[in-house]
A and B are shown apart, each in its own frame.
Chain A
Amino acid sequence: MKTYEKTKWDAPQILVQKFTPNEYVSTCGVTTYGKYLFKCDAPAGDLYYYPNGRGSAKKDWLGNPRGYYGSRSIEADGQYNYHPCSETHEANSTSDFFDGFVDYNENGFEDSGEAVMVWKEHKRWGGISFHATTKLGRDQWTTLKS
């Protein structure tokens, strides 16, 4: 009797190969900044940031940061109930800035339109405060030259 052998199951995945033009990197006009004027203005919600950079997060086949099987985004640290303080802070350019997101739809993942830049403020008394802005590029921030 002929036996029918099934194909081994493997998680369905689609590899995306994107054709992008070469990135142009300018080295002109580089300025050494002393401090940024960081305006904490991202709308309220559950705030997450990537301690090791967005690029280090696990991704799905479309490049979206992902956890696994619907669990929370495991590569991101979270702070619940973030509210913007709406203040402008003087943040040293060498302090802790991270890519992050405010989880407006509360699904535990970063979705389109949720990206923020996070500034982790270390208080003098040892506490930590998180601030976030929707201006993702540092060139969009006001700077104080040293």
Chain B
Amino acid sequence: MKMKKKFISPALQMTYNSGNLTTDQVSRLPEKKLAEYIRQCMCQTYQISSDYILRKIGGSDVIVPVGTHLNPKLESAMLMPNQTAAFLWELFQQPVTEAEAVQKCIEHFDGPPDLIERHICRFIRELIENGILVKTESDNGGK
């Protein structure tokens, strides 16, 4: 009798494409180069730009743009993170990989891991696109 395989809930692991290649270029990479590219993306560390600081004002977290190279959209603006964004903000004060951020959030918060992963991937992309989060050189290959 043929043994059936155990069903595992289908899930996709998301990783922010932090390299310099477009998704089209990535799709055409040969297998070995693709594996290396993915490894590099997963080992990429990120850190909050020094142009922004987090302050506690009246018990609430407020991010204040203080630098000189700000995104024009954020000039004369105050940023108010929700609880999870503030947690990630504190986390990214040091160089951290996406996978490490996901792991820390899974440990600290109660929520579906795949949803947390998707949210963080999107959050990182948005912060990078707006110059708030910057890529850092990792000297240990992502720890």
Contacts and interface: CB of A to CB of B under 8 A. Distances in A.
A9 B81 contact: no
B79 A15 contact: yes
Nearest to B82: A13
Contacts of B42: none
Interface residues of B, number: 34
8 contacts: A7-B108, A7-B109, A9-B110, A9-B115, A12-B87, A13-B82, A13-B84, A105-B22
B77 A12 contact: no
Contact of A12 (B63, B112, B119, B129): B119
Interface residues of A, number: 25
Nearest to A13: B82
Interface string B76-90: 111111111101100
B37 interface: no
B108 A13 contact: no
A14 B76 contact: no
Interface string B11-23: 0000000000010
B109 A12 contact: no
* Chain A binding surface, main DSSP class: loop
A16 B81 contact: no
A63 B109 contact: no
Contacts of B24: 106
B85 A7 contact: no
Interface in A62-94: 62-63, 69-70
B109 A6 contact: yes
A61 interface: yes
